[in-house]
Structure 1
Amino acid sequence: MDKVLARGFNWAEEISDGVKEAGNHCASATKISWKWLSLSGNSNQGASVLLLALLVLGAAVAFIIRRRKRKDYAIRPSTPTAPRLEKGQPREFGKWTPSDFCTPIPEPYPDWSVENTKPLPYRPFRYGPKYNVTMGLRTIKHEDWIELDNHFPRFHADKARRIEERGSKLCATAPEAYPAAVELLEELTEYLPARYPSLYRRTAVGLDNLWSGESFNIVTRPLPEDPMQMCARLVQDDLAIMIERPDGQYYLLAGCIVLPGFWRLGDKFGMPLSEIHTSGDVPQYKEKLERGMMNLFRRLKPEEMVGRHNYFFQVDDDLGWSWSVGPEDSDVNGHVGWNTAEKGRAIDHHYFRSERQTLRRLPKSGGVVFTIRTYFHKVREVAEEDYVPGRLASAVRSWGDDVSRYKGKERYADVLLEFLDEKHEEQVARGLDLSRENGVRAYPY
């Protein structure tokens, strides 16, 4: 009975609000109606009153419907879905109390094989006309932490070669981050054999790679190599760990960045989070990203994991280092950057480079692990996918001047956009229904 009465009171309140709103919207109509009524005499007075009442009631009902629709729209989640990170308990900067959280053991990846499992088709770009600079965070399940696919052999070979040639320039662990690096190695040792049992097998001292024949011993001390380097050999991702110091800043103090394309660990190692981004001229970092990113790192809990995607273009085919932006060992000032790249290279030299990045906090050490998984495809290959060339061309055209400089647009835009426009026109000509895109290729796929 109480629920019925409550609903009745709510409905009455809505009607009252609706009548008030209707009165505001119908003020001019009311004045006109009464003026007409006074001129028309008593013969039409009853009909006029009835007409006026219906007018007010109709407006009230319309107001109620509009208000309910607004409420419905307000509760619809935005896209992409941003995680709700709760404000953590106050703690002293640079101090972490080990958490009793244990990372869930994942189910095996369905039907995974090193020969047949294709890379997931991440296409993280939107139609213009406006390009919004955001973190674009999504909540990720712990079981989806690391993604492996049939590109693993190439990544494994490229990593092994580059570590052999340039190991000390690609991998480093500061003493204060060493416990976190070992913890990351332990986490991967538990996760990978459970998630990818046809590739990895758990052993008494670590794990075996069944495809390559490698064995990893994580028990022997000292470890046979830098723990971050061992981690990087296990996955297709590049890896970094940020450590909070007493000043409240998070510093890059452990990393193995083997396949970065455009940046070098040595240029960023030891830097705080904000300087890493400002030194790289990340567009609108101070205005739109810094505060949210600092809050994210501060509040992130071991129980949570978040991810994001980005994309770039490259005008050479080197997964490890894009030599078109300059030699990898060049001085960064004036010798590494898009200004050195050849302009207008043929479309066959254009590659689409997308990153899937995840962030999670290690429960024992409190270090924040940053994984960077690169997806690398020829533009010709990506443009064959339905809806992609039109949306990608629109996205590139939506970049502002700062984003365009950051992504090197001036060096490849003419060739790239002409090609994408042609592929889009071909798709439309063969009957592709553009109105169905949202149902077929939801962002960021």
Structure 2
Amino acid sequence: MQTFDFFSKHISLITPIPIYVAVFVLLICQGFSRQRLFRRRTQSTQTPADIKSGVSNDLYDRDQRLGSLITPDPSFSWRDSPQEVPREIKPGKYFLTMNLRKLDFNDYIIFDKQFLTEYRERQAIISKVGSEKIFVAEPNGGALDLCEETLNVTVDFLVTRYPSMFRRTERGVLCVDAGEEYDLVTRPWVRHPLEITCLLSGDDCILMRCCDDGVLRVAAVGLVYSLDIDWKSFIGKDLASIHIDARVPFYESTIQKSVDRYFLKLHPEKPVTRANWLTQVGPELRNDKFPDEYLRRVSTLPGNSITAETIIHDLYFRVERQTMRKLPSMHGVVFKFHLYATNIWDLEQEESVPRQFAAHIRGLPESVLRQKHCLECVHGILKVMDEMAERQEKKHGNRHQPASRSYI
């Protein structure tokens, strides 16, 4: 009877216990069920080569959300893909802006008919200059980890988006058209991970990490098409220092703070892009013959016939297609640069571009023209572009209007 009285008094406390136990057991069962489902999904993404290699699955399935943003294009052929040079031209009065545009995730890395030529050219440059001079990183494991993650997300993108060009192998990834396999398993690395990234993607790279003080600083660089200088001086610099050292006019006074804030808020799923242009003499992408400096250099040579007027015949516009995104794991920022060189005379083949470019250049102050290396020959550039624009307008009856663009 006493036992009954005890249970009667405390029944409200005892009754929930079986419920708690049942809920606890149910949660455990759900956990096992989800784990089995995850294993099945992961195994379904592995090929026999992947399983035999013993490579960790997280190399392939780091973030399903990012993979779902990529649309495979199995029929893509770089041989049939024309080269489309980005033209971010804003006629009118000049003012410095970030000039960023949202980028479709599928266009994060693009290829055209120059792919294999530039791939071989990059290999030759690396062999001649030495990879240790081109691929430079902070002397710590964190910088190497950043390079490794950059390579991994690059390979993930390439094998998904372009399965006819890139395939996974037992040890890494195969560049089909080049017939070369890259080892992603062996440690220490057979080749620097940033070297593999630059070769496969066709882009140069600057990697930045967010430091404890909340500032982005350069952790590693891989600049194949840039000049043969000591890139170690880049390491540890923030965005402001890079642009100030490059003497970008108005940067510090107008957009420095906005740039710092914006890039700290970049997202792995939302890459952005912009274009930048300079002038050079000759078509080589690894080129130090910038018109203003080149004119001064050759002016001292006996019998020199190169002048500000004649240099126009071999003048090229060097355009950078810049893309930026945050890495999903380490949250570093990847700046990629794909370079193009277009002869000034070829601009006539691009509808409305000569007129737009001429109007754009006329709005640039001297400091910007100097930074783009064309101040001393700008009159010749404008003369050629005006002539091309007049021929275009006469041919088409001025029916074509420049396409409008939206900017961030």
Q: TM-score, normalised by structure 1?
A: 0.70
Letter in 2 for 1:401: E
SS class of match (1:311): strand
After superposition, residues 161-310 of structure 1 pair within 5 angstroms as 161-166=124-129, 167-174=131-138, 175=140, 176-260=142-226, 265-310=231-276
Cα deviation, residue 412, structure 1: 2.4
SS class of match (1:377): strand
Answer yes or no: is 1:316 the counterpart of 2:279. Answer: no
Task: Tell me, yes or no, if the aligned pair for 1:125 and 1:443 is still in contact at 8 Å.
Answer: no
Task: Tell me, yes or no, if the aligned pair for 2:295 and 2:307 is still in contact at 8 Å.
Answer: no
Partners of 1:104 and 1:399 in 2: CA distance = 42
Match of 2:336 among 348, 365, 371: 371
Identify if the C-alpha distance between structure 1 residues 108 and 317 changes in structure 2 by more than 3 Å, giving closer, same or farther. Answer: same
Task: Tell me, yes or no, if the aligned pair for 1:261 and 1:319 is still in contact at 8 Å.
Answer: no
Partners of 1:432 and 1:270 in 2: CA distance = 54
After superposition, residues 28-47 of structure 1 pair within 5 angstroms as none
Match of 1:426 among 345, 370, 391: 391
Cα RMSD between the aligned structures?
2.5
Task: Tell me, yes or no, if the aligned pair for 1:126 and 1:443 is still in contact at 8 Å.
Answer: no
SS class of match (1:323): coil
Cα deviation code 1:112-136 (max 9, x no counterpart): 21321112242111222x1221101
Answer yes or no: is 1:140 the counterpart of 2:97. Answer: no
Letter in 1 for 2:157: Y
Cα deviation, residue 263, structure 1: 7.8
Match of 1:348 among 303, 308, 313: 313
Answer yes or no: is 1:117 the counterpart of 2:81. Answer: yes
For these two proteins, the number of residue pairs brought into alignment is 334
Cα deviation, residue 429, structure 1: 2.1
Task: Tell me, yes or no, if the aligned pair for 1:101 and 1:302 is still in contact at 8 Å.
Answer: no
Letter in 2 for 1:359: M
Task: Tell me, yes or no, if the aligned pair for 2:280 and 2:287 is still in contact at 8 Å.
Answer: no
Q: Which of structures 1 and 2 has the bigger CA Rg?
A: 1
Partners of 2:322 and 2:84 in 1: CA distance = 14
Task: Tell me, yes or no, if the aligned pair for 1:173 and 1:226 is still in contact at 8 Å.
Answer: no
Letter in 2 for 1:236: G
Cα deviation, residue 362, structure 1: 0.8
Cα deviation code 1:144-202 (max 9, x no counterpart): 21111111122112211111122222111222311111011111111112212221112
Cα deviation code 1:3-46 (max 9, x no counterpart): xxxxxxxxxxxxxxxxxxxxxxxxxxxxxxxxxxxxxxxxxxxx
Task: Tell me, yes or no, if the aligned pair for 2:74 and 2:164 is still in contact at 8 Å.
Answer: no
Match of 2:94 among 119, 122, 131: 131
Partners of 1:146 and 1:338 in 2: CA distance = 36
Task: Tell me, yes or no, if the aligned pair for 1:101 and 1:363 is still in contact at 8 Å.
Answer: no
Task: Tell me, yes or no, if the aligned pair for 1:306 and 1:358 is still in contact at 8 Å.
Answer: yes
Letter in 1 for 2:335: F
Partners of 2:182 and 2:94 in 1: CA distance = 45
Cα deviation, residue 377, structure 1: 1.5
The answer for unaligned runs of 5 or more in structure 1 is 1-98, 327-335
SS class of match (1:409): coil
Residue in 1 aligned with 2:48? none
Cα deviation code 1:300-356 (max 9, x no counterpart): 232322111112221222211233479xxxxxxxxx788547652443311122111
Identify if the C-alpha distance between structure 1 residues 201 and 211 changes in structure 2 by more than 3 Å, giving closer, same or farther. Answer: same
Identity of aligned residues (%): 27
Partners of 1:134 and 1:312 in 2: CA distance = 17
